[in-house]
DNA sequence: ATGTCTCACTCGGTGAGA
């Protein structure tokens, strides 16, 4: 089975691309971020028409997350229970798998704007709360997958020009420490479990022809708990939607779980 | 290059956020 994540930067604009992508890349679960639409505007009918179900936590204008699933999810959780926040950045659900139930989280971690800003402080606090919550989730659901836009490039190899970006937002040491603290709970950055091309990125600024120059960052990740990692046979970045008109500035990341191969 | 894209507010130009 495949699990995927994609920051679509407006589901209203990108819905045809998402439906097209699902048709060509069937997955058990597709985690979406930056829906930028209110709950009552979520295009649930478009997904049910093509055989998918969904759960979502929407918000007007900004943020918003969803999980598009083949089978109905249970035990749906919106937002971090331990963090007072009107911004919709988390949704989680439980899905059946051959190895038993797996817990899937779609996360849109704060961007942080600039190191030292109010939004940066919010980002670091939010990550602390995410860490505490995931620690509890892991106890309850050992098979746990956390997919999303983390807005952190974990290592210099995840940055097209590490010197230019040094200490900047998305790569600063406190942000990387917050990301590593999640891994310390017992998660693996599944992309790095496999051989990958140099300069593999998931996000490119819309400006300055960044995609054409491959001036990107790898900030969208699939974190798998130890109990799931053993089934993971591949993790890839799918740049194909960049060939569309009006592409998102992020591309999908897809992890394959093979329950025969454990 | 303050570079582009999206949405809100409101019908066109500006501000916020990424």
What's the CA–C1' distance between A249 and B7, in Å? Answer: 16
pLDDT at A3: 98
Which 80-139 positions of A have CB less than 7 A from strand B?
A: 110-111, 113, 119
Please say if A122 is a catalytic residue.
Answer: no
* DSSP code at position A198: S
Nucleotide in closest CA–C1' contact with A151 = B18
Residue A228 included in any domain: yes
pLDDT at A260: 87
Task: Yes or no: say if A51 and A83 are a contact pair by the CB < 8 Å rule.
Answer: no
Please say if A150 is a catalytic residue.
Answer: no
What's the CA–C1' distance between A145 and B1, in Å? Answer: 40
Please say if A108 is a catalytic residue.
Answer: yes
In this structure, is the CB of residue A230 within 7 Å of any atom belonging to strand B?
Answer: no
On strand B, nucleotides with any atom < 7 Å from a protein CB are 1, 3-8, 17-18
Please name the residue ranges forming H helices in chain A.
11-24, 44-49, 118-140, 162-165, 173-184, 226-229
Q: H or E element: which one contains A76?
A: strand A74-78
- ∠ CA A220-A226-A232, nearest 5°, is 65
What's the CA–C1' distance between A61 and B15, in Å? Answer: 13
Nearest CA-CA partner of A91 in A81, A105, A110: A105
| List of chain A residues with pLDDT < 50 | none
* DSSP code at position A41: G
Nearest CA-CA partner of A134 in A107, A167, A101, A164: A107
Task: Yes or no: say if A89 and A63 are a contact pair by the CB < 8 Å rule.
Answer: yes
Residue A135 included in any domain: yes
Residue A224 included in any domain: yes
Gap between the Cα atoms of A238 and A24, Å rounded: 12
CATH code (residue A216) = 3.60.10.10
Residue A91 included in any domain: yes
Q: Which residues contact A47 (CB under 8 A, 6 or more apart)?
A: A19, A53, A54, A68
Tokens describing residue A207: 């400006």
Gap between the Cα atoms of A105 and A49, Å rounded: 24
What's the CA–C1' distance between A47 and B15, in Å? Answer: 34
Nearest CA-CA partner of A254 in A230, A236, A233, A241: A236
Name the protein residue, with chain letter, whose CA is nearest the C1' of B6.
A10
Residue A262 included in any domain: no
Task: Yes or no: say if A18 and A10 are a contact pair by the CB < 8 Å rule.
Answer: no
Q: How many domains does chain A have?
A: 1
Q: Which entry of A150, A158, A220, A250 is annotated as an active-site residue? A: A250
pTM: 0.98
- Burial environment of residue A170 by CB neighbours within 10 A (0 to 12, 13 to 18, 19 or more): buried
Q: Which domain holds residue A156?
A: 2-257
Q: H or E element: which one contains A202?
A: none
Binding site listing of A: 7, 34, 149, 151, 249-250
Q: Which entry of A52, A141, A149, A220 is annotated as an active-site residue? A: A149
Residue A172 included in any domain: yes
Q: Which entry of A52, A108, A141, A231 is annotated as an active-site residue? A: A108
């Amino acid at each position: 089975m495949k699990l995927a994540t994609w920051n679509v930067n407006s589901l209203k604009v990108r819905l045809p691309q998402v439906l097209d992508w699902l048709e060509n890349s069937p997955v058990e679960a597709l985690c979406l971020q930056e829906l930028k639409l209110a709950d009552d505007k979520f295009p649930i009918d478009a997904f049910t028409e093509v055989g998918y179900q969904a759960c979502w936590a929407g918000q007007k204008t900004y943020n918003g997350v969803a999980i598009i699933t083949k089978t109905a999810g249970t035990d749906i959780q919106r937002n971090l229970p331990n963090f007072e926040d009107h911004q919709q950045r988390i949704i989680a659900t439980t899905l059946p798998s051959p190895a038993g139930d797996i817990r899937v989280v779609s996360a849109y971690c704060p961007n942080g704007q600039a190191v030292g800003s109010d939004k940066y402080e919010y980002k670091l606090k939010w990550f602390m709360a995410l860490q505490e919550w995931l620690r509890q989730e892991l106890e309850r659901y050992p098979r746990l997958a956390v997919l999303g836009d983390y807005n952190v490039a974990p290592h210099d190899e995840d940055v097209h020009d590490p010197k230019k970006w040094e200490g900047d937002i998305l790569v600063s040491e406190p942000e990387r420490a917050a990301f590593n603290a999640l891994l310390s709970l017992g998660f693996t950055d599944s992309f790095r479990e496999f051989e990958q091309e140099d300069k593999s990125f998931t996000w490119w600024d819309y400006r300055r022809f960044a995609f054409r120059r491959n001036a990107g960052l790898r900030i969208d990740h699939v974190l798998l708990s130890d109990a799931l990692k053993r089934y993971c046979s591949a993790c890839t970045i799918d740049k194909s939607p960049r060939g569309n008109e009006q592409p998102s500035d992020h591309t999908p990341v897809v992890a394959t779980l093979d329950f025969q191969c454990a």
